[in-house]
Structure 1
Amino acid sequence: MNKINKASDMIETFLTNKYSAEEYKIKLKQIKSDNIQYEALLDHKDDKLDRDGHIFKNYEVAKKIFASWLTDDVKPMDILLALRNLQVVGISLKEGEDDPQVIFESINSTGVALTNSDLIRNFLLMSDHDQDRLFEDYWVPIESFLRRENDNNQIDLFFRQFVVMKLNSTVTERKVYQKFVDIFKGNNYDHESALKEIKHYDKIYAAFLYPEESDYSDEIKNYLLDLREIKQTTCYPFLMHIFADYHADVIDEATLTKVLHMIDVYLIRRSICNVPTNSLNGLFAYLYSRVFRVKKNKDIYYEVINKYLSIQTGKDAIPSDEDLEHSLFYAKIYQNLPLCRLIMLDIENGDTKEKIVTDNLTIEHIMPQTMSKAWRKNITEGEHDTFVHTLGNLSVTGYNSEMSNKSFAEKKKILADNSKVVILNEDVIDKDTWTVNDIKNRSRRLAKILLDKYRLTKVVDSDIKFEDVDKISVIKPDEATGRKPISFTLQDADYPVKSFKEIPVKLLNLLDQDDPEKLNDLIGLTWKNNFDEPNSNNSVVICRKDNIRPEMEWNYSEVRDGIYVMAGGAAWKIMHVIKQLLDAYGIEDSEFAISVRKK
């Protein structure tokens, strides 16, 4: 009994100061949000314990470790005596001379790496005299906005997105903390002003993760739910800017909704067309700073964002209606289940306010993934492989496990008797058999619905610019010398460029689309060194590769099918080439201009 009492006394001395005032009785001081749980654990108040919280979970881990030692015949007193050898090191700092954050980082560099949110919290709170108030007023709400089920992972993700948003550039995970410190010092924040701003954006970010808990309109919530469903989080730094402008009354709710709708549809179209996502981090990191580099663009907020996305090319381009329709017909949509679920419900729900309940709904293959002998009577293996996962062969139901590989007649009866889905199934339940032609016809019908649902009307306005620019005319070639081109305008439509060399090729590609026979007729067009006289060296503007002298190959770029255009050399020379191309296609000089960055 004496040993038990002695052990009990030792345990108590580890955890409490028995004779101290109540305020100082517990030795290990927790943050306020954890201290309630810690006290409940020490006082054996089981009814107040959060068994999903990390205080209780850590306690359970410790119990298991001690139990394993006891199982291995380690005596309880030996464990307690070993614990008595643990030492806590205190470091005294001299105010005004020692930086606690620097010392902390130095000590921690040899231990377990802290998360970015840990490092940022310590940076903002450790050396502040008002630490307790700042923690309660700012840090606790920052964590509570994003923490769910005791998981702080979203807080670290937020800080990376926050830093990307502040810098308008991409940032790797390992550089987030240092970049945050640079932002803090470069913008002359104090601890409270930085925490206040973080709290503001943290609450915005929480609406992206948990739209259903936000105070935004149902339409805005639905767009945010779409983005969350298809895991398109790369747009969040850009959206943080947009929502901040909304809260600052720079834009109204209607404009916010339009911008969010465009981003939503842009990303859904890309997902359907399976466009690689690796360029999106950069696009959305820079997007806000690029479209609003010209301050007056905020007066036409939605229009400039629309135009910027509309003129993108390559991987960042908005997939065309033709590409979208092709993917809706042939793409194996089922292989991207979140996207598949989203578009199926978009078809069924349309724009109605009353939505079908989505709980327990699963994706169902009408033609099954594994065909029975009966199914093989009408469908070949090749047809099955091509169309089994496509839009035309999919529906949503709560009876997936029951339907599985049943015959079409049995599946049809289940759909007709039990499913509340109407639009998706209207051309399924009226069939006696299910064939590849039925799948194709249904794909066309459903694709038409989605083309209307995900339609984007592009803004075409040549007066919208993304930099302060000067416009130069093709008839003044000398004005191009020493200038940086941003875009060119052809018949009121803008096309971005990065150099003068790009312009002849892009221009000729555009002109060739309208008159594809003309290009062959122009082979042999001779360059002029002014607007009236042929050049003495008889260089050609448009030619076949065989006509290019080896030393002049750098001067030409391919247009198509082995036809090349002169595109190199000084800017003034390229202006002459452009003028000849416009003349050859009958384009008035007034219908073309080049925008160059202001000096």
Structure 2
Amino acid sequence: MDAHKAKIPDIVNNSTLIEVPFFQRAYVWKEDLWERFLDDMAFVVQYNRPHFLGTLILKDASVPQQNTSYATRLVLVDGQQRLTTFLIFLKVLCLKMNQPGIFDTNFRLITTRELSLQHGKNDSEAFKCVMDQTNAVPITDGRSSSPIVQAFNYFASHLQMSTLNDYMTVISNVQFVRIDLGPTDDEQQIFDSLNSLGVRLTTSELLKNYFFSRNNITAYQNIWESVFEANESAKAYWDTEIEAGRVKRPLIDIFFDAYFQQFIQKKKYNISVDDKLIYARTDQLANSYQSFVNTYCGGNKNTILDTLKDYATLFQQTFKSDFCSTTIPSDFGIERLNIVIFGLKTTTLIPYVLYLAKNISNLAILNEMYGILESYVMRRIVTRASTTNYTKLFLSFIANEILTPQDLRDRLQVLGGTNSSIPDDTELRDGFEHSKLMNLYSKGVLYLIESHIRPAQSAVVLHGFNNYSLEHLMPKKWRNNWPACPTPLDAEKRDSILLTLGNLAIIPQSLNASIRDSDWSTKKAGKGQEKPGLTLCASGLSTLQDSLTKTDWNEIEIQARALWLYKQAQSLWKL
């Protein structure tokens, strides 16, 4: 067995036949992986830097002294998905460059002009189909159900020549770890060891190995072990996986991303624009730490280690996803902001919130800052504003040392007219009346309003965010048991308005299906203890109490409740 780095010309070329085992599983990559792949390739072209694409296991299957049209025959034991994706991408890139001959010269056998990569039973026809294409346009016939054809179609539609226009830079920088097995090596044993028994190294594990060794065990125990591995509870906290962007990441990796920003946003390090962009990539965070230490800290690891324990302890005290399962206060504070961060998946706030927690000792000021951030995010959620610029925006607050409520308000007000601006009251009202939010966001809006306006002396306990379900007061299937509309246009308007916030409520238990779609009086009263209605299920909920006194529930009542909710939000999330 031999393992070494290799680029694509060293693996797939015009004199080597690589065969996917005939009964190998089919190609299974989907759009989320194709999107990430394109982002990675654009990064390679922009910065002309090496990019590791994964491991390939190849086994020698050549037959000695056999007269063939290729010099070498190899079996692809592992790596089918990434190698297939890469070749499809290169095919589309060459077509878009109007240079299909480059692809054929490099990836078809010299003698027979067959493809150098031969697929198995499941994908051979689809792979040949996309490799025979002469134009980078989606394939729309019956073959489009194949994931391989779908990959071709995705790249044909999304590969932009403005960011991906350099074939040579791609093939010169994309690297694999190539593991070559001899004819007698047991490929199944090696495959199982790499894919089943092996565990992928996380960012935190790579950093632990970088910062500590057998020569500084005491530092490891004092700085790392005492926080991240102190006991089972600590380990469980740091291992908790949180949705961040398109992927799930453990809290310890999210911490190291947020902690890193405390350094790279500081003006004193004078970090170049290109390095800041590179350091922002979470998939290369461990390498970025090392680059930062070597380039901007003179190789002194203590720049990072000196405050690591303090920040990690503060992070653990500040960010708690289990607040989503407990009662939260009515006033602004970190408990409510944790609902915004973890319940509503706005994890881009974390670096700046960590910065505030470390640098503001006055709790009243800190809570006021948290309230401004909650108001900003929730106003934008109600109005369906984009979250695209959140990372850049919140990091700019660290870079500009925004540490007072007035400075934060001023900074947000400056954003007027941009796609990061604060929605004003007119926009907020329009959002309550017309926005159709995803269920999670609707639940978050109603829950945070409910927690704020709930009377302190209420006999009914406010449950945690995760314990509530979203309910449509007028059901989506209203045609079954509700009064008909005068015209089809009126019915269409009803279908639209019932999706808005005025018709939505949070309740601590889901209604029985037979109650959910019943007429209004039955939906309120239920059908006995076995099938309770809204009156019982929603007892004590301030955001719903007045609605349950209505004898009818219609478009007029929905609009009136939307206006009432808007006034509560206007008072809570002030500009």
TM-score by length of 2: 0.53
Q: Output the amino acid matched with 1:129.
A: N
Quickly say closer, same or farther: Cα 1:151–1:118, change in 2 above 3 A.
same
Could you tell me which of 331, 337, 357 is aligned with 2:462? 357
Distance in 1 (CA, whole Å) between partners of 2:357 and 2:351 is: 10
**Aligned: 1:242 with 2:356:** yes
Distance in 2 (CA, whole Å) between partners of 1:424 and 1:115 is: 43
Q: Output the amino acid matched with 2:406.
A: E
* Alignment check: 8 A CA contact 2:539 2:545 kept: no
Partner residue of 1:114? 201
* Alignment check: 8 A CA contact 2:258 2:351 kept: yes
User: Could you list the runs of 4 or more consecutive aligned residues of structure 1 that deviate by over 6 angstroms after TM superposition?
Assistant: 211-214
Quickly say closer, same or farther: Cα 1:193–1:323, change in 2 above 3 A.
same
**Aligned: 1:304 with 2:417:** no
Superposed counterparts of 1:176-187, under 5 Å: 176-185=285-294, 186-187=296-297
Q: Output the amino acid matched with 1:341.
A: K
Could you tell me which of 327, 330, 339 is aligned with 2:431? 327
**Cα deviation, residue 375, structure 1:** 1.2
SS of residue matched to 1:129: helix
Distance in 2 (CA, whole Å) between partners of 1:201 and 1:386 is: 47
Distance in 1 (CA, whole Å) between partners of 2:556 and 2:348 is: 39
Quickly say closer, same or farther: Cα 1:321–1:179, change in 2 above 3 A.
same
SS of residue matched to 1:350: helix
**Cα deviation, residue 167, structure 1:** 0.9
Partner residue of 1:515? none
* Alignment check: 8 A CA contact 1:165 1:285 kept: no
Partner residue of 2:558? 439
**Cα deviation, residue 330, structure 1:** 0.7
Partner residue of 2:223? 138
Partner residue of 1:258? 368
Superposed counterparts of 1:80-479, under 5 Å: 114-126=201-213, 129-131=215-217, 133-144=218-229, 145=234, 147-148=236-237, 151=240, 153-168=250-265, 169=276, 171-185=280-294, 186-187=296-297, 190-191=300-301, 194-210=304-320, 219-227=332-340, 228-246=342-360, 249=361, 252-291=362-401, 301-313=404-416, 314-333=418-437, 335-337=438-440, 339-351=441-453, 352-353=455-456, 356-358=461-463, 360-378=467-485, 380-402=490-512, 403-413=515-525, 414-456=533-575
Between Structure 1 and Structure 2, how many residues are aligned? 333
Distance in 2 (CA, whole Å) between partners of 1:261 and 1:394 is: 24
Q: Output the amino acid matched with 2:422.
A: I
CA RMSD after TM alignment = 3.1
Distance in 2 (CA, whole Å) between partners of 1:275 and 1:371 is: 30
Distance in 2 (CA, whole Å) between partners of 1:155 and 1:120 is: 11
Distance in 1 (CA, whole Å) between partners of 2:235 and 2:570 is: 35
Deviation sequence 1:181-220 (CA, Å, 0-9, x none): 2333423575566334122222232244316689x99852
Quickly say closer, same or farther: Cα 1:122–1:399, change in 2 above 3 A.
closer
SS of residue matched to 1:375: coil
Quickly say closer, same or farther: Cα 1:330–1:245, change in 2 above 3 A.
same
Distance in 1 (CA, whole Å) between partners of 2:263 and 2:425 is: 35
Superposed counterparts of 1:583-594, under 5 Å: none
* Alignment check: 8 A CA contact 2:481 2:517 kept: no
SS of residue matched to 1:429: helix
**Cα deviation, residue 149, structure 1:** 8.7
SS of residue matched to 1:316: coil
SS of residue matched to 1:244: helix
* Alignment check: 8 A CA contact 1:329 1:440 kept: yes
**Cα deviation, residue 112, structure 1:** 7.8
Q: Output the amino acid matched with 1:374.
A: N
Distance in 2 (CA, whole Å) between partners of 1:229 and 1:135 is: 34
Partner residue of 2:14? none
**Cα deviation, residue 376, structure 1:** 4.2
**Cα deviation, residue 452, structure 1:** 1.0
* Alignment check: 8 A CA contact 2:472 2:505 kept: yes
Instruction: Name stretches of at least 5 consecutive residues in structure 2 with no aligned partner.
Output: 1-185, 191-197, 242-249, 266-275, 526-532
Instruction: Name stretches of at least 5 consecutive residues in structure 1 with no aligned partner.
Output: 1-81, 87-110, 293-297, 457-599
Distance in 1 (CA, whole Å) between partners of 2:568 and 2:310 is: 39
SS of residue matched to 1:364: strand
Larger mean Cα displacement after TM superposition, 170-179 or 281-290: 170-179
* Alignment check: 8 A CA contact 1:226 1:264 kept: no
Quickly say closer, same or farther: Cα 1:354–1:202, change in 2 above 3 A.
farther
**Cα deviation, residue 160, structure 1:** 1.9
State the structure with bigger RCO (CA 8 A, min sep 6), 1 or 2.
2
TM-score by length of 1: 0.51
Quickly say closer, same or farther: Cα 1:433–1:239, change in 2 above 3 A.
same
Distance in 2 (CA, whole Å) between partners of 1:181 and 1:149 is: 22
* Alignment check: 8 A CA contact 1:147 1:155 kept: no
Distance in 2 (CA, whole Å) between partners of 1:147 and 1:448 is: 41
**Cα deviation, residue 283, structure 1:** 0.8
Partner residue of 2:126? none
Deviation sequence 1:413-467 (CA, Å, 0-9, x none): 22334432343223322222221111111111111111111112xxxxxxxxxxx
Distance in 1 (CA, whole Å) between partners of 2:240 and 2:574 is: 38
Distance in 1 (CA, whole Å) between partners of 2:462 and 2:542 is: 15
Quickly say closer, same or farther: Cα 1:455–1:156, change in 2 above 3 A.
same
* Alignment check: 8 A CA contact 2:468 2:506 kept: yes
* Alignment check: 8 A CA contact 2:450 2:542 kept: yes
* Alignment check: 8 A CA contact 1:291 1:305 kept: no
Q: Output the amino acid matched with 2:307.
A: E
Partner residue of 2:29? none
Q: Output the amino acid matched with 2:571.
A: D
